[in-house]
Each structure stands twice: as C-alpha cells, then as structure tokens.
Structure 1
Amino acid sequence: MKIRTKLILSFTALITAIALTMGIVSTMTASEILKEQAEMDLSYKTIEGAKLINSEMHTQRLSLEVLAELDEMKAMGLEAQSNIIKRQLDKLEFEDVSIIRPDRTLNYVNGSVVKLPADDRVMDIFDGEKVSYFGISPATNETVLVYATPIMVNTRVVGGLLGRYPGEALSMLTDGIRYGKTGYAYIINSEGTVIAHKDRAKVNDQANPIKLAETDPKQKSAADLFTKMLTNKVGVDTYEMNGETLYAAYSPIEDTDWILVVTATESEVTGAAAALQRNMMIVALLAIFIGMIVTYILGSRIVKPISQVVEKAKSLADLDLRENLSAKALSSKDEMGDISRALQSIIDSFRQIISKVSLSSEEVAASSKQLMASAEQSALTAEEVSKTVEEIARGASEQASNTEDGSTKAASLGESIETNNKFLIQLSESSVQVSEIVEYGMNEMEKLMEITKESTASVKEIADIIELTNRSAGNIGQASAMISSIADQTNLLALNAAIEAARA
C-alpha cells in the first residue's frame, strides 16, 4: 500500500474518530443543555403565564373593589346599589354583578334572588376575605368564574359584591399562553379539577384525572402528575397521554389555590436538540470530507518529493549517474531535503569512485603493456639462447666426429674424449633444463596475460608474477652462463684434440 493511501486512510480514520467522538460528546452535552434550557423556558413561560393570569384577575377584581368603595354601595340601599351596578355593568366587563346580603342572598339587578348555602365560599367575604373561585353557578347551573369582595364600613363588613364571568373566561386567558406550535396551558384547582383548558369539554365536565384514574388506568400517568403538582406546586415533569410523552411545567397562581400548567410534546421541547444532532452530524460529515481532501493534498505534497527520490534511487541502482537531483529537492529544509542531499552525496561519491577506478584501470593497462613487452623480449632472448644451444650442439657433434676419427690415431686421447662425452652429457641435460625453464617462463607469461584481465585488486598478484618472471629470467641468464662455460670447455677440448691429432 502506498504512503499516500496510508496517509489518507489513517488521517480519515483519525478525523472520523475525532469528529464522531466530538460530535457524540457535543451532541449529548448540547442535548442535555438544550433540554434543560427548554425545560427552563417552559418553566419560565409557566411562571410568566401565572403572573399574567394573576394580573388579569387582579384587574378584574380591582374594578369590583372600586365599585364596592362607593358610598352608595356602603349605604346598602338595594335599589341605589342596583342602579349603580346597571350604569357600570358594561364597563366592568362582568357577565353579571350581584349584591351579597348578610342573609346569604345574591340579589341581581334583574330582580332575581338566589339563596346561598351556609358553607358557600362566597360567604367568606364576611370574614374580610376576597374570594375568587371557579365552580357551578347556583343561578345558572353552569361553570362560572366568580370574584367576590366585601363592602366595608369602617372595619365592619356590611355586605359584598359578586362579579361573575362565564366559565370559559378563564380558558380564554390560558388560550393566550402557548409553547411552540402545539404546546398549550391549562389550570387546575386545589383538588386537581381542570378549570381552564383549550378543550372546553374538560372544563364543563369538571375533569379530574386523579378521580378518573380510579376507573380508567389510562389516566394513571396524568393522575400521578396532578398529584405531584398539587404537592410540589412548582416544577417540570413528564407524563404519558394517549401514547405520547408530554412535558408539563407548573407554577401556582398568586392569591389563588390554582396551578397553571403549560404542557408541550417531547418533540417540541427536545426539537432543538434533535436539530442540533442533525447539524452536528452534517458538520461531522463535512469535517470528514474536508479532512479527506486536506489529507489528500498533504499526502500528495509529502509523497511527490519521495517519488522523485525513489526514481533517482532506481536510476542509481541501474548505475545511471548522469543527472543530479533537482535544486528544489536539495534546498528543502525538511527530512526529504536531508534524504535528497544524502542521495546526491552518494551519487557524487560513486562518480569519484568510478573516476578513480577508471584511472587505476588505465594504469593497470599501461603496466600490462609494459609487462607484455618485457615478456616478448624474454621470449626473444630465450629463442636466441635456444638457437645458440643448437649451434653449440651441432659444433659439439662435429667435434665428436673429428675426435672419433682421431681416436684411432691417439689412444691417449681416450680419457679426454671420455671426459668430453661427460661434458656433452651435462650440456644435453643443461639444454633440457633450459627448455623446461623457457617453457615454464612461457606458462608464467600466459598466466600473467590472464591475470592482467582481472580487476585492480589483482595488481599485487601481477607484481608477484612479474617478480617470479624476473627470477625465471635470472635462471635463464644462469643457464646461458652455464652454456657459455660449457662451450668454452668444449672449444678447449676441441683445441686439445686438434693439438694431439697434429702431434700424432
């Protein structure tokens, strides 16, 4: 596998691991943060919604309290009170306003009178309390939102005013509180009964999941949530409804025993986290893609000078030393520059070695030529010696014939002839030795010619052979001296034989 491929795969794997790790960690962390933030937003919206509803209720109650402070109201003249209420009814925005008498009666401006039970909460105004409650109107038997405020003369409660809104008035307030596209708000009272909801049927039916769970197991999750809300008063929890997970943030409404609940689906609350996960995945994939491109570019920039060095190394392996590495490669400051300079140094060293080897080869060739000339001269000398020996042999043979002719005339020359024969035998043996020495010299010359074809490492052996040849030439000289001595003796014997023959 090539370095570029290894780099791309390695860095891609590294970037992928880093991107995925960072993506997973970031996504998990961001998801938790976004989830917490969404829960905080939901809770904040609930608290703000509770403040808004309380403010709206306070405004509505305040108009009733202002009406109760009028002197005509404090005089407790029923007709006068009714006239004031008629004049102000349109401004008060109440569906109807009635006068509460100490005898527990509600006196409406239309003349109708409703008797309240002794335990009715409206009667708490005679204890100086301001009452707000949601329930069934005894006058209409419909759900209503009721405000009741005392009419006080000095510190004594002489009666009260009751303002009535239709039951959906409270739901209209919660309709304006939403979270996301599907989130909505509703209100429950201290018993867990729904008193405001976007589904008006739940309000009209006085729906209470805590009671419904006793007969409907599907309501258990909502019942548990309602129980927890009544206990904790404020917080954020989840529950199941119709197979869907819902978030619910709740907060109490001041001056009431009601709790405002803002609910939203899990997808609404954690939608930002899901979007973040998708975005993080896209960013991770984009980072991997960019990493692959950057790795490819960096790999190419790293591998390119390596490829040039590899190509030059192949040329060096083929003993191609004609070209140098590029100046750019040699001037590089990184590790590839060091390798390029080292390879160029090797090329220069090879060139110097080849130059020295070439010069040494020329010197060896010159020495070989000189050695060949010396060998040829030695061969010529040996040939001349051989001719001389042959001539001497012919002369000796002729002298032997003459001596044999004179032996019959001078018996006294026998011993001399016998001595002469011995010398002839020695001469013959010396001739054989000379031939052997000459043959040995020729063999040595042939070996010398083979050795000259070897490398410069064989120069020492050639020198040894030359020295051996010199010794052989010395031996030839010795043989020549011996032959010369024998020739002189032969001449002397021939002269003596001639003298004796003359005497005879």
Structure 2
Amino acid sequence: MKLRISHKLIAMMLVILIVPNIIIGSVAYFIAKDQMDNLGRTTLKNGVEMALQLIDSANKQVEDGELTLEEAQERVKVYLIGEMNADGKRTISSPVDLGENGYFVAYDEKGLELAHPTIEGKNVWETADTDGSLFVQEQIKIAQNGGGFVEYSWALPTDENSRELKITYNKMDPNWGWIISAGTYEMDFNQGANQVLIALVITLAISIVIGGFLSYYFAGKISKPINSITNHVTEVANGNLAVHVEELKRSDEIGELVNGFGKMVHNLRELITKVNGSVHSITSTSQNLSAVAEETTASSEEIGKAIGEISKGAVQQASDADDTFNATVELANQIQSLSDKTKLMSEASSQVVASNKIGMTSVSTLKDKSSDTEMSVGQTKEVIETLTEKVKEIEMIIGTINSISEQTNLLALNASIEAARAGEHGKGFAVVASEVRKLAEETSNATDKVRQTLSGIIDVTSIANYEMDKTKLLAKEQLDAVMETEQSFKKIAGSVSGIESIISDVNDNIQLLVSSKDNVSNAVESIAAVSQQSAASTEQITSSIDEQLNAIVVVSDSAQELNDLINDLKLEIEKFKLQS
C-alpha cells in the first residue's frame, strides 16, 4: 500500500519523538543504576578502610597504655555497630551509612563472629547461601589476600522467604587479625534508579500523547492542500473543468499554488464556455450560409431558364436579383458577427495561457523551495556532526579532571592515616583530609554525571543524524510530487495550445468567407445590372450568370470547409466537462 505524505510525516515525527526518549531514558536508567551500584561498593570499601584505620588508632592507644585490648576492641565494636544490649545483641547505630540494611561484621580466621548485630560469638565457618556457596570462607580468603568484594544470595531481614543479592567488602586488619566485612543488599543501592525509571516512563507517555496530536495537526496542514490540488490536477488533465477549487487563506507557496490553479481552471472554464457558445453560433451561420447557397443556386437555374424567355421574364429576373442581394447582405452580416466572436475566442485563449503560466511559476517556486529544504537538511547534518566532535573533546577534558580527583582522594586517604597515627595532634589535620576527600569524591561524581550527559548527547545526535537522512529522503519525495504536478500543467498547456491552433484555423477560414462575401456582393450587383440591360444584351446576362455561379461555388466550398472545422472543434470541446 502506498503511504500518503501525511502518514509519512506523522510516522517520521513520532519516530523522532519516541526513539530519542526511549534511548535517553534507558541509558539514564542503566547509567544511574550502574553508578549507584559503584557508589554503594565504594561506600562499603571506604567503610572497611575507615574501620581498619579506627582499629589501628585504637591499637596505638593499647600500645601506649591508655586502654586495655578488651576496652579498645569493645570501643571499635560500639563505633562500627552499636552498644551491646542485655540480650547479647547490638542495636545498629553506626555513624557510617551502609544503606537501609547494611552493617559491619568482624570474623577471626576460623569464622568466629567477633562483632555482629545478632549472632556475635557464633562460629559461621560452614554457613552457606541458597546456592550452597560457603561465602564466609570466601570472605576470609579474599580478606587475607589483600581485600575484595563477595556476592551471595541472602534472606531479607523483614521477610525470610525473600532472597536478594547481598554485597560485602572484606579486608584483614594486620593488628588484631580481624576480618572486617561491610555488607548490604544491592537493592538498597538501586532505589533512586527505580524512581528515575518511573519518572522517565511517565514523561515518555505524556510526550507521545502531545507529540502525536501535534504531528497529526501539522501533517494535515501540509498534506491536505497538496492531496486536494493533486486530485484537481488529475481531474483537469482528464478534461473535467467542473471541479471547484476553494481559495486558501495562506501566503506560503502551497497557498499560491492552490489559488493560482483555481484561477487558471476558472479562466479555462470560461474560455471553453465561450468557445462552445461560439460553435453553436457558427453552426447556425453555416446552416444559413448553406441555405443561401441553395437559394442562390435555385435562382441561377431560374435565370438560366429565363435566358430563352428574356423578353417575357425580365421583370421576374429583376425581382429574383433583389432577393439575392438581400440574402447576400444578411450573409455578410452573419460572417462579420462570426469574425467578432472568433476574436473573443482568441482573447479568452490568451487569458488561459497566461493563467497556465502563473500556475507553472507557482510550481517552479515550490520546486525551488523543496530544493532549498533539501540543502538546509544537509547543512543541519554537518552542524550535528561538528557538535559530536566537540562533545568528544569535552569528554577527554572530563577524563583528565576525574584522574586528578582520584589522585586527590588517594592523597586525602593517606593524610587521614597519618593523622590517625599522630593521635591528638593530628585531629585537625584529619578533619582537613576528610573534607578534601569529600571534595574529591564530589568532583569525581560530578565529572561522571557530565560524562554520562555527554554520552547521551552523542547517542542522541547520532539518532538525529539518522533522522536527518530520512528527512532528506522525504524532501526528495516531495520534490518528485511537485515534478508530477508540473507535468500535469504541461499537459494542460498542450491542450490549450491545440485549442489556440484550431481557433486560428477557424479565423483564417472566416477571413476567407469575408473575402468571398465581397465576391458575392459584386456578383449580385452584376446580376442587377444585367437585369436592367437584359433587353440590350443576352451575352452580358450569360456572362453575369457565369460569374454568379462561380461565386456560389466559392460560398458552397467555404460553407463545407467551415462545417468540417466546426465538427473538429466540437470534438475537442466535448473532451472537457463544464458542469458537475
């Protein structure tokens, strides 16, 4: 099935609206989810590193004799988890935010829970997750090898039947030999990403509804006049001049094309109407001319018979000469009227030619505008490609800033360690190092968001570049449609040219009739003179009769030729439909 221009425009605009929104939304969701996962993992790792620094600081106090080992260890447990309750459990009140369900755990090398919110003092060496993996042993092994992440499936605290992925970061303390583990559920990291996904879905739905309405509205504004004028052009090309073209109150090229075509059809319809009326008049005149020719022939026969009876038929001959003269005068008047109407037909034909030229000019202007549109689409495509290159250059600069941020974060961490080693004298420096680390992390987060945005822009510009190619193809199809309209106008011009040629032939033959009219008048005057002198010279009468017969033959031939031209003109006029 052949798609109309309106359908193509609506489909193109909806694709341009929906595809970028889906891509941007999907990319934003997955990037946000990935970044939140990375942020959660970084939080776990930083929490463990902080706990190791805390143990190192507490151990120095033990070495300096300020605390006993048991006091120092309990202080670390209280800071990481919370105070021990009477039931042997700890209420989680750590200042370190590990997520809604996150907390610290400390093992020894044999799997004994040295610090835990609920099962402190229990050995969990053989504990396995739902897949049968001995994750505690894996945590201890990774911690002893320098630290790392462990993932396993575990029941939710609020629902024992629900299993979710849990992530822990594990590292061994060199002072007490503790395996410090900080863990939480991955779903705690993704709550923000899920909210982003819901907002994007709602925004996409609203955009599709509004964009669909606007696409339908503007597509109709463009395609309806083009479809209407195309149908009218086809009708006129097939000879139907009864079409009614409504005037458009628009000042653009489409309005000029429709209004110019309507004016041309109106002028052409008036011309054909006038030609049709003139044909009827010419037919009547031709019939009168034939009757006059027959009557004149009959009179000549009577005159031939009267030659043998000149003496007794002179009066009758004079009367017949008077009748012939009156008929000739009437014939001359009708021929003159026919000549005037032919001139009107020629002027109307010129008006049709002028209207057709106006229509051709409008089509040419529309064709030029279509070419300009195609060129503008190409230039827009070049601008989008240049924008993509600039975005890539900005992304390289963001990479350099991110590298500086990571180095600053590492320096801040080293400064915190040195401040912890300095004890009371390094507290001020520790605060400064902490603020520097936060600033570095915020810088890293900001550069990551900028990089995400730039990546989205690159993807969207690639889609826009693809849509520009489709728009360029659509502009070419529009140009092809204008070319078809131009061909229809050329067909109309050819038909009008044929009518002009026929009218020219009719005019030439009418001029011949005018010339013949003078001959007939002269012949009739000669007949009258011969009638007056009939008694004096029979030879003069015979000569006048011969001249009259020759003139009648000319009139008869002209009348026959005029009838043939009228028949041809009728056939051409019948090709056009003037009334609905």
Q: TM-score, normalising length from structure 1?
A: 0.50
Larger radius of gyration: 1
**Bigger share in strand:** 1
